[in-house]
Amino acid sequence: MSELQVIESALDQAARRRRMNRALYGLSRGALIGAGLIVLVVVLFKLTPIPLWTVSAAAIAGGVCAFAGFVAGGWRKPGQQEIARWIDERQQLKERLSTALEMSGGAGAADWKELLVHDAARHAEALKPAELFPLRFPKPARWALAALVLAAGLWFVPEYRTFAHVQQKKEEANVKEVGKELADLARKELVQRPAALPAAQKAMEQVTELGDTLAKQSLTKAEALRNLATATEKLVKQEKEAEQNPVPKPLERAAREPGNRASASTQALQKQLDALQKAMGDAAAKADQLDKLSDQMQKIQQQAASMAANNSKMSSSDREQLAESLANMARQAQEDGASLEGLEDAIAALKANNPEEFVKDIEAASHDLEKLRQMAKSMQSVKQQMAKIGKDLGEQLDKGQAQAAVQTLQKMVEQLEQGNVTKEQLEQIMKEVAKAVDPAKDYGKVAGHLQKAAQQCQGGDKPGAGQSLAEAKKELQKMLDQMADSESMEAMIDALARADMAIRSGKMWSECQGGKCASCNGLGCGKCKGRGWSHGGKPGGGVGTWADEYGWTYFSENQGEPVDNSDIQRPDMPGHGHTERPADLNPNLVPDKVKGQVSPGGSMPSITLKGVSIKGTSKVKFEDAATTAQADAQSALNQDKVPRAYQNAVRDYFDDLKK
């Protein structure tokens, strides 16, 4: 190897080491920058409400910085001349290497070149690249590590968030939750009761879209309320337009009466009845026996519960007696057609003296029996509904049973279209149709079509009569559709109002519903207008819960026989809500009387609360505070928490606040 090669070889080795060294240095510097960025973002995240993804982004950016530093550091391969100069400087070689390298390739005196190269080679041989460029992480790496540890520590420091921000986030989350519920409800409504008219369909779709918008976009409370108000306004307008064609009174009345649905038909009820009978089997025939069985079961359950509670073992005679009564009960249940498998298991567990298993089996049997009883009740209810359905077209129209009337008309049309109608049958149809003309006067054009059909029947014009009856049927169906759409739209308006209340009061969707309808248990009925939940807060006695009751507002001719309850003895009980206040009550909570402005001259109770007054400037805007207070007041009013006598005053007061 020539002396020049010795120099070049040493320089190449040094260049490789230096490149790696620079790459590590770049990595460290990049890591330091990245770690600094992470610390900065974490600190910002802890102090200001920036989104969480910025921390993730900073972590990724930190990694990218470190990688970029490594690549940038090691990207360029240093040239021999450059490394020679660097080594000259570092090793105090007095520019021997760089001069020799430069002069060896250029024109010049050969003897001088030889001297230079010889001298430089002598020094190059002594070079140790590993010592010259030790591979170790430089200082920035340690600082980067320290910064990362700091960031990790800071992560556990709780975030500082202003009350306003927390409130805003809560509101946004609430808006999203309400939006989701609203969209789900609207979709369910669309699936269960597809609208007949395009306007109603469009309105329901708009509500669905609004729900999606609230759920997907981050809207403020004010924006959400504005959107809801706009949507409600549109729906109300559409509903008013729809109301220009009023629903016939019998239909409306039927819709409000429990168990008398306009959409109920004999066929549908028969189907429901068949399904219940199939589910109950032989027990359907002896539904009254189930109550007796239930009483017996309750007694046995009590015994079983006391046995499990006392953890006492029964004597063998008691067990035999209990087993015998269980066996009797099982036998009777079998005779009644009720299959209670739990009873057999319970007898086995009792014989095995296993009280826990016995209690479980008894509970299972009781559960099965209760289900059977519920089904029996439902079956009874369906039978009652079927019994209520009018016998002929006139009666059906009179009771507002439009669906049943439609089916009756359909039958007549089919009969007339078949052409093999006897004179007697035609006369019977004519009589039934003629009888229905008077009740059909509330149904608009239906009466006209029926009268025409009756005349045509009288004249023997069967096809004409069939045509007129089909027209009447079509008109009735149209009314039914219109009413269904109206109900759907009203349900949507109620849902929007519920969403408005939930957002305005900052409560959850489920907190703003009045509870499931007691009549249909949330399935939807005439009483709850198909919503599944009732108006007017939680059911129960007290002032301001009359919204659930429709019966007293509309007089029904079919109230049934009056009930004589004179023999019922009710003991006198102390009044609720007027108990004496305890003697050790905080003096600040003792009520005093002030003159009220609601009922001039009268007095209203008030409580003066004494405490430390809050001084300084409020951090909440007056408008916000007033809006919140108004929302709370509105919520209280909606839930009838405010006595009726004060409702107007409360409403006026909060309306004035806004001004």
Pair of tokens at residue 12: 């190449």
Nearer to another protein, 108 or 246 (CB): 108
- Would you say 118 or 142 has its CB closer to another protein? 118
Q: Which is nearer to another protein, 112 or 554 (CB)?
A: 112
Closest to another protein by CB, 111 vs 584, is 111
108 vs 460, beta carbon nearer another protein: 108
* Helix ranges, 389-461 (H): 393-398, 402-418, 423-437, 445-458
In angstroms, what CA-CA distances link 60 with 50, 65, 69, 156, 548? 17, 9, 14, 20, 58
Say if CB 346 and CB 365 are below 8 A apart. yes
Task: Find the shortest distance in angstroms from Cβ 144 to another protein.
Answer: 19
- CA–CA separation, 173 vs 53, rounded Å? 17
88, 90, 91, 94: CA torsion to nearest 10: 40
- Those residues whose C-beta lies under 8 Å from the C-beta of residue 50, and which sit 6 or more positions away, are 41, 44
Residue 95: CB minimum distance to another protein, A:
4
Residue 155 CB, nearest approach to another protein (Å): 35
Minimum distance from CB of 55 to another protein (Å)?
Answer: 35
Closest approach of another protein to the CB of residue 100, in Å = 7
If the CB atoms of residues 113 and 431 are measured against another protein, the closer one turns out to be 113
Task: Give the shortest CB-101-to-another protein separation in angstroms.
Answer: 9
Q: Are 104 and 113 in contact (CB under 8 A)?
A: yes
Q: Which of 346, 362, 356 is nearest to 313 (CA)?
A: 356
From the CB of 66, what's the least distance to another protein, in Å? 20
One-letter identity of residue 115: L
Q: What residues does 604 pair with on adjacent strands?
A: 594
28-37: b or e for each residue (b if 16 or more CB lie within 10 Å)?
Answer: bbbbbbbbbb
Backbone angles phi, psi at 554, to 5 degrees: -125, 125
Task: Output 25 or 70, the one with its CB closest to another protein.
Answer: 25
Residues near 452 by beta carbon (within 8 Å), at least 6 away in sequence? 464, 468
Residue 121 or 447 with smaller CB distance to another protein: 121
Beta carbon nearer to another protein, 99 or 263: 99
Interface residues with another protein (CB under 8 A) are: 18, 21-22, 25, 78, 82, 85-86, 89-90, 94-96, 98-100, 102-103, 108-109, 111-112, 115-116, 119
Whether 347 and 324 have beta carbons less than 8 Å apart is answered as: no
The answer to whether the beta carbons of residues 183 and 208 sit under 8 Å apart is yes
Least CB distance from residue 94 to another protein, whole Å? 4
Could you tell me the smallest distance in angstroms from the CB atom of residue 84 to another protein?
A: 9
